[in-house]
Amino acid sequence: MVRGPAQAATRAAASPDPAISMPANSRPGPVVTRIAPSPTGMMHIGTARTALFNWLYARHTGGKFLLRIEDTDRERSTEAAVQVIFDGLKWLGLEADETPVFQFARADRHRAAVEQMLARGAAYKDYMTPEELDAEREAARAEGRVVRSPWRDLSPNDAPDRPFVVRLKAPLDGDTIVDDQVKGQVRFQNANLDDLILLRTDGSPTYNLAVVVDDHEMGVSHVIRGDDHLNNAARQTLIYQGLGWDAPVWAHLPLIHGPDGAKLSKRHGAQAVSEFADMGYLPEAMRNYLAKLGWGHGDDEIFSDDQAVEWFDIAHVVSAPARLDWDKLNHLNNHYIREAEPARLVALVVPILESRDWKLKSTDAALIERTIPLVRDGAKTLLDLADALVFVLRTRPLELPEKGAAMLTEEVHDRLTRLRDDLATASDWDVPALEARIRAFAEREGVGIGKFGAPLRMVLGGGSPAPDLAGTLVSLGKDESLGRLDDALSLVR
């Protein structure tokens, strides 16, 4: 039975609990963190943030970051769904330090742990029939208590020959305290926790059992995950006690909410890591952004992975839900697009252009690479960057959009003809030389650049947005620039 925190848990009073002797965030031995996603077919952005925090903490402490695929739901856990997780982590640059552990394959280990618990008297076989269980549920509801099995106190010698589940023999009184690094001490009344099923009648292990056995055997020292698992932490604490094992350090992260403060859902736009990738966000921008969702280092907005690793501490995670802020994400992405090596951006933007049916020639990569520095300042995403590059890829003869033809009045036409002839004599074809040439031309003509700049850009870009004049000319190169001018000038007159 799953109970909301309001029913099951209360935050403990400030006084430290005598049961907790060791400082909660320290445990002997190396730090081992993990991400334990269930393959659902998509990797949620919250899972990405959880992975990042685990990765940061492992790196910060010189520990290890592990991956466990919780694939016990056999229908959903297809190979493709598992691959989505591998791909998501790879794209984010958060790959695990060891080969992944698959939970389903470890069922024998889970059952062996239950044998230990039975031997220790920490678990019991419950032979209630479905009808008896229904009646007990009914009675428990009427009496306002949790379900209890009579087999808790009956001797195994009286066991009938029929199917049974194995239940945890949980304490009836007192409290279970989850001493959480983010939430503080959270107290659960044991009277509200029923005897959790560990093995079903078919011998299959249940979720909380599997998590505890796997975390213990993987050596996980710190469980950092979404706070939708806080109630499970109480259950799992009891299982650790039943097995006589030390519980890990807990840190339950507040969930990510949409900009309006409601839990992140479809209507807020993207939720899956792959959607953010498809929308043209860079992984380093996502890491920087996700690190800021629930953690921060003073007012620092932009920081490198190395800085995040140096500064990160679970103790600084805030307990209020974090809100997704598209403006901030766009701002960061723009920053990292401006910082990225142009050659890398070429490799990222070419598939986007190809998906828009641009048939690229082998020479286009070089063209795109030299154009990127001229157009990337305004790009919030790689999709924006692709938009800004289109002008350079058009092939002659360019069509002149209607409003473009209207701009080429006789006066402008004549002036652009004179400019074309002037440009034809240029030997230096770089931004400073062309800026100076255009300025000098405007002076000779006795007009401001504004008088011919817009029609010239329109002619050169074939109606697509193009960067400033000199930049556009440099990107296109001399021959292409003059050719595009010739095309437009001959079209109109």
Q: Which amino acid type is present at position 202?
A: D
Closer to ligand GLU by CB, 57 or 127: give it: 57
| Binding-residue pattern over the window 118 to 157 for ligand GLU, x denoting contact by CB under 6 A | ----------------------------------------
- The footprint of ligand GLU on residues 83-112 (CB under 6 A) is none
String of b and e for 154-173 (b: at least 16 CB within 10 Å)?
Answer: eeeeeeeeeebbbbbbbeee
Closest approach, Cβ 229 to ligand GLU, in A, equals 5
Of 167 and 222, CB closest to ligand GLU: 222
Q: How far is the CB of 25 from ligand GLU (least distance, A)?
A: 18
Any idea what the Cα angle at residue 77 is, between residues 72 and 78, rounded to 5°? 150
The span from the CA of 265 to the CA of 131, in Å, is: 39
CB of 211 to ligand GLU, least distance (A): 5
Task: From 37, 60, 213, 40, select the one nearest 123 (Cα to Cα).
Answer: 213
- Catalytic residue among 266, 292, 328, 403, which? 266
Q: At closest approach, how far in Å is the CB of 52 from ligand GLU?
A: 14
- Contact yes or no for 10/178 (Cβ under 8 A): no
In the region spanning residues 21 to 40, those forming contacts with ligand GLU, defined by CB under 6 A, are 36-38
Q: Which amino acid is residue 465, in one-letter code?
A: P
Interface pattern 52-81 for ligand GLU (x via CB under 6 A)? ------------------x-----------
Give the distance from CA 443 to its chain's centroid: 54
Shortest CB 261 distance to ligand GLU, Å = 22
Min separation Cβ 362 and ligand GLU, Å: 45
> Pattern 318-357, binding to ligand GLU, x per CB under 6 A?
----------------------------------------
- CA gap 331, 92 in Å, rounded: 18
Residue 125 designated active-site: no
Residue 83 or 304: the one with the smaller Cβ distance to ligand GLU is: 83
Q: Is 314 exposed, middle or buried (0-12, 13-18, 19+ CB in 10 A)?
A: buried
Residue 36 vs 382, nearer CB to ligand GLU: 36
Which residues face 142 on adjacent strands? Answer: none
DSSP assignment string, 112-177: HHHHHHHHHTSEEEE---HHHHHHHHHHHHHHTS----GGGTS-GGG--SS--EEEE---SSSEEE
- Touching ligand GLU, residues 199-238 (CB under 6 A): 211, 225, 229
Q: How many CB atoms lie within 10 A of CB 121?
A: 9
Compare residues 12 and 36 and give the one whose CB is closer to ligand GLU: 36
Shortest approach of ligand GLU to residue 321 CB, angstroms? Answer: 17
Nearest to 203 by CA among 73, 130, 111: 111
Residue 184 pairs in a beta bridge with 180
Q: Where are the alpha helices (DSSP H) in 226-302?
A: 230-243, 273-278, 283-292
Nearer to ligand GLU, 211 or 218 (CB): 211
Interface with ligand GLU: number of residues (CB under 6 A): 7
The single-letter code of the amino acid at 346 is: V
Q: Which is nearer to ligand GLU, 165 or 251 (CB)?
A: 251
Residue nearest to ligand GLU (CB): 225
Looking at the Cβ atoms of 178 and 385, the one nearer to ligand GLU is: 178
CA quadruple 428, 434, 438, 440: dihedral positive or negative? negative
Here the tokens at position 58 are 């492992």
Residue 443 CB burial class (10 angstroms; 0-12, 13-18, ≥19): exposed
Shortest CB 37 distance to ligand GLU, Å: 5
Give strand pairing partners of 222. Answer: 249
46 lines the binding site for ligand GLU (CB under 6 A): no
| Beta-ladder partners of 178 | 186
Site for ligand GLU, rule CB under 6 A: 36-38, 70, 211, 225, 229
Catalytic residues: 266
